[in-house]
């Protein structure tokens, strides 16, 4: 494991030396799509092509699902002692750490994440494999308190073949939140990476193989959502889909399940999270720093982005002034510079979408007080300045629709009740925050806000032991924590008659 942080030039050289293999990993080895078709992987740093991806479709999905089912039935993984799966996954965690710089540079090149953040993401992936490895031989089943003439065992069994369909914003992180608990529980898992950021996952497949995850138990199939993603969603021999992505596509997976085999579906979808600041919040500079962090971290390409700053009128002017000052401190630019805090948006389409929303906000009458424009266009990269709109009405599109870019809307509220009303006035319910010094108000507001996570006097705090997921159209099911195992197992009740 490397312990030093290479400087920018070193990182660039590192990236130039990467071997990028965009082929699928099926049944224990790399393979082209059966059709021979490919997709181009382009870097958002310059727009240049960096690799070809196998464009898998229904035919490849059929082969992968058959291999996954064979491996599951064979039992080398699904029926292995949990302690054996633990050993393999701990080896995998170490292998991921050993390859941290390579994996991080791949993420930065392919997805535009700042290198410092990408390294953190890879560390998080290793920690996730370790967390579920260490947990899986400590999770006990149940004996129910039935009548004394019977014994009822309530046991958890792996669900079978799991498809994990993931987005591009945390290319390894979102996938490992699903891979680690699903593999630990004994399933066969097929990962469908996002077209925009597949390369770190096609590489991870080889590391999973090297760690000792058997052939067919883990497979990675790049390809278009409408092709590989849909084929997995509609497959009659896939038992569960764990999806992270947009609400729109999440709904399609419910349709696919209903039209095929009623597979179980869990959805981690979008958000429009309110960050509520009440007049008694206290240190407004600290609040402003977190407000900027909540909105701009990962270039705003974050499901839990605190994209609505709901502020009690009495402190609005001062807070907005401080948020604007903090947003100016975000260093936007070359993601291979370790000092960069905001890298490139994932592709030109996403950048244009974000800039369109800036125009939509202006037209609707919101007041642009920071950013709003592309940065360093001469690089060919897709950079957008941290952007703040004041005077936003919660009914405006910029307050209702997920932008998935560095755009913060400041929405005035009369008091705490009005703030809660505004906070809940959205189809989403992923996360929220409230800033107040009053403990009663903190509890009252956290209870009233309909969101899967509520932060009090902080934003984006996280820990693997804590579940993460949404209410409403942000989805259902939870990633992280021991609760995630529920998505990848099913309960079996076995009755034994003890009467003689
Ligand atoms: P997306 O919905 O466009 O794509 C997600 C995945 O679905 C990709 O692998 C894609 O190829 C696949 N897909 C696309 N169309 C499909 C179709 N018709 N059938 C089957 N599969 C299809 O999302 P994205 O643009 O990659 O990611 C951004 C979204 O992800 C945002 O909405 C964000 O909020 C969400 N997200 C949520 C969480 C969370 O934990 N709640 C975390 C990260 C990202």
- Active-site positions read 268, 303
Cβ atoms of 400 and 426 within 8 Å: the answer is yes
Whether 470 maps to a domain, the answer reads no
Q: What percent of the chain has pLDDT over 70?
A: 99
Domain count, the chain: 2
DSSP state of 318: H
Whether 31 maps to a domain, the answer reads yes
Q: Which atom of ligand 1 is nearest to the CA of 165?
A: 9
CA 237: distance to chain centroid? 25
Q: How far apart are the first and last CA of the chain?
A: 61
**Ligand 1 contact via 430 beta carbon (within 6 Å):** yes
**Ligand 1 contact via 225 beta carbon (within 6 Å):** yes
pLDDT tens for 342-352 read 999 999 999 99
Please, what sign has the CA dihedral across residues 234, 235, 238, 242?
negative
Whether 118 maps to a domain, the answer reads yes
Report the SS3 class of residue 219.
strand
Whether 160 maps to a domain, the answer reads yes
Rounded distance from Cα 4 to ligand 1 centre (Å): 34
6-34 average pLDDT score: 90
Return the higher-pLDDT residue of 2 and 120: 120
- Taking the CB of residue 359, how many other CB atoms lie within 10 A of it? 10
Rounded distance from Cα 36 to ligand 1 centre (Å): 25
**pLDDT of res. 5:** 46
Report the SS3 class of residue 72.
helix
Counting DSSP H helices and E strands in the chain, the numbers are 15, 24
Whether 396 maps to a domain, the answer reads yes
Whether 498 maps to a domain, the answer reads no
Q: Which residue, 80, 99, 89, is CA-closest to 129?
A: 89
**What DSSP assignment string belongs to 414-467?**
SSHHHHHHHHH-SSEESEEEEE-S-HHHHHHHHHHS--SEEEES-SS---TTS-
Rounded distance from Cα 49 to ligand 1 centre (Å): 22
Give yes or no: residues 262 and 296 share one domain. Answer: no
Please give the residue range of the domain that contains residue 254: 6-269+475-492
Q: pLDDT tier at 332 (50, 70, 90 boundaries)?
A: very high
Give yes or no: residues 280 and 233 share one domain. Answer: no
Distance CA 409, CA 366 (A): 9
Give yes or no: residues 214 and 279 share one domain. Answer: no
Phi, psi torsion values for 439, nearest 5 degrees: -65, -35
Rounded distance from Cα 223 to ligand 1 centre (Å): 13
Whether 27 maps to a domain, the answer reads yes
Distance CA 291, CA 299 (A): 14
**Ligand 1 contact via 453 beta carbon (within 6 Å):** no
Q: Say which CATH number the domain at 280 has.
A: 3.40.309.10
Give yes or no: residues 239 and 286 share one domain. Answer: no
Give yes or no: residues 257 and 112 share one domain. Answer: yes
Contacts for 496 with CB less than 8 Å, ≥ 6 apart: 150, 151, 152, 153
**Ligand 1 contact via 402 beta carbon (within 6 Å):** yes
**Ligand 1 contact via 246 beta carbon (within 6 Å):** yes
Q: pLDDT tier at 7 (50, 70, 90 boundaries)?
A: low
Give yes or no: residues 313 and 216 share one domain. Answer: no
- Taking the CB of residue 261, how many other CB atoms lie within 10 A of it? 13
**pLDDT of res. 9:** 75
132-151 average pLDDT score: 97
Distance CA 199, CA 193 (A): 9
Report the SS3 class of residue 294.
helix
Q: Has residue 302 got a pLDDT over 70?
A: yes
Give yes or no: residues 204 and 328 share one domain. Answer: no
Q: Which atom of ligand 1 is nearest to the CA of 474?
A: 41
Give yes or no: residues 213 and 345 share one domain. Answer: no
Give yes or no: residues 78 and 179 share one domain. Answer: yes
Give yes or no: residues 263 and 306 share one domain. Answer: no
Q: Has residue 2 got a pLDDT over 70?
A: no
28-48 average pLDDT score: 97
Phi, psi torsion values for 380, nearest 5 degrees: 85, -5
Give yes or no: residues 104 and 134 share one domain. Answer: yes
**pLDDT of res. 6:** 52
DSSP state of 264: E
**Ligand 1 contact via 271 beta carbon (within 6 Å):** yes
Give, for ligand 1, the residue of 171, 232, 246 to mutate: max count of ligand atoms closer than 8 Å to Cβ. 246
Contacts for 407 with CB less than 8 Å, ≥ 6 apart: 295, 300, 307, 354, 357, 358, 361, 371, 387, 389, 398
Which residue(s) pair with 468 in the sheet? 479
Rounded distance from Cα 166 to ligand 1 centre (Å): 6
Contacts for 238 with CB less than 8 Å, ≥ 6 apart: 65, 161, 162, 163, 190, 232, 261, 263
Cβ atoms of 34 and 227 within 8 Å: the answer is no
pLDDT tens for 227-286 read 999 999 999 999 999 999 999 999 999 999 999 999 999 999 999 999 999 999 999 999
Rounded distance from Cα 26 to ligand 1 centre (Å): 22
Distance CA 144, CA 449 (A): 35
Whether 455 maps to a domain, the answer reads yes
Which residue(s) pair with 233 in the sheet? none
Give yes or no: residues 195 and 279 share one domain. Answer: no
Cβ atoms of 111 and 458 within 8 Å: the answer is no
212-218 average pLDDT score: 98
**pLDDT of res. 12:** 85
**Ligand 1 contact via 221 beta carbon (within 6 Å):** no
Give, for ligand 1, the residue of 167, 259, 304, 470 to mutate: max count of ligand atoms closer than 8 Å to Cβ. 167
Q: Has residue 3 got a pLDDT over 70?
A: no
Q: Say which CATH number the domain at 183 has.
A: 3.40.605.10
**Ligand 1 contact via 227 beta carbon (within 6 Å):** no
**Ligand 1 contact via 174 beta carbon (within 6 Å):** yes
**pLDDT of res. 4:** 43
Please identify which residue in the block is written with the tokens 């009458």. Answer: 365
Q: Has residue 449 got a pLDDT over 80?
A: yes
Rounded distance from Cα 489 to ligand 1 centre (Å): 23
Residue nearest to atom 30 of ligand 1 (CA): 245
Cβ atoms of 370 and 332 within 8 Å: the answer is no
């Amino acid at each position: 494991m490397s312990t030093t942080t290479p400087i920018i030039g070193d990182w660039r050289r590192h990236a130039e030396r990467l071997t990028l293999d965009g082929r699928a990993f099926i049944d224990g080895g790399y393979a082209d799509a059966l059709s021979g078709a490919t997709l181009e992987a382009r870097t958002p740093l310059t727009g240049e092509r960096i690799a070809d991806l196998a464009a898998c479709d229904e035919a490849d999905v059929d082969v992968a699902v058959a291999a996954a089912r064979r491996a599951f039935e064979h039992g080398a993984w699904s029926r292995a002692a949990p302690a054996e799966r633990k050993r393999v996954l701990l080896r995998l965690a170490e292998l991921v750490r050993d390859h941290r710089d390579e994996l991080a540079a791949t993420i930065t090149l392919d997805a535009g994440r700042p290198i410092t953040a990408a390294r953190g993401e890879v560390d998080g992936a290793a920690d996730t494999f370790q967390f579920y490895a260490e947990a899986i031989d400590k999770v006990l089943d149940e004996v129910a308190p039935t009548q004394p003439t019977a014994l009822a065992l309530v046991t958890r069994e792996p669900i079978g073949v799991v498809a994990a369909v993931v987005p591009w914003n945390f290319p390894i992180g979102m996938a490992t939140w699903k891979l680690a608990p699903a593999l630990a529980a004994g399933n066969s898992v097929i990962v469908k990476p996002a077209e925009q950021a597949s390369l770190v996952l096609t590489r991870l497949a080889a590391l999973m193989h090297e760690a000792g995850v058997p052939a067919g138990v883990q497979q990675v199939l790049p390809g278009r959502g409408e092709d590989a993603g849909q084929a997995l969603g509609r497959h009659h021999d896939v038992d569960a889909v764990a999806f992270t992505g947009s609400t729109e596509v999440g709904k399609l997976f419910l349709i696919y399940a209903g039209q095929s085999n009623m597979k179980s579906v869990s959805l981690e979808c979008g958000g429009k999270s309110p960050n509520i600041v009440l007049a008694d919040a206290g240190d407004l500079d600290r609040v402003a720093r977190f407000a900027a962090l909540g909105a701009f971290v990962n270039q705003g390409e974050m499901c839990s982005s605190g994209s609505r700053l709901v502020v009690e009128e009495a402190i609005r002017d001062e807070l907005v002034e401080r948020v604007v000052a903090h947003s100016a401190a975000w260093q936007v630019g070359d993601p291979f510079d370790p000092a960069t805090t905001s890298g490139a948006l994932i592709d030109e389409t996403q950048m244009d979408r974000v800039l369109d929303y800036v125009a939509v906000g202006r037209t609707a009458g919101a007041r642009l007080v920071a950013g709003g424009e592309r940065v360093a266009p001469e690089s060919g990269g897709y950079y957008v300045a941290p952007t703040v709109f004041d005077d936003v009405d919660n009914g405006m599109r910029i307050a209702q629709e997920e932008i998935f870019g560095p755009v913060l809307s400041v929405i005035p509220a009369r008091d705490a009740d009005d703030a809660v009303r505004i906070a809940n006035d959205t189809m989403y319910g992923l996360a929220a925050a409230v800033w107040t010094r009053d403990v009663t108000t903190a509890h009252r507001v956290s209870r009233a806000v309909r969101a899967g996570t509520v932060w009090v006097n902080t934003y984006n705090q996280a820990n693997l032991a804590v579940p993460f997921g949404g209410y409403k159209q942000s989805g259902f099911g939870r990633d992280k924590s021991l609760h995630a195992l529920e998505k990848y197992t099913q309960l079996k009740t076995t009755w034994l008659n003890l009467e003689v």
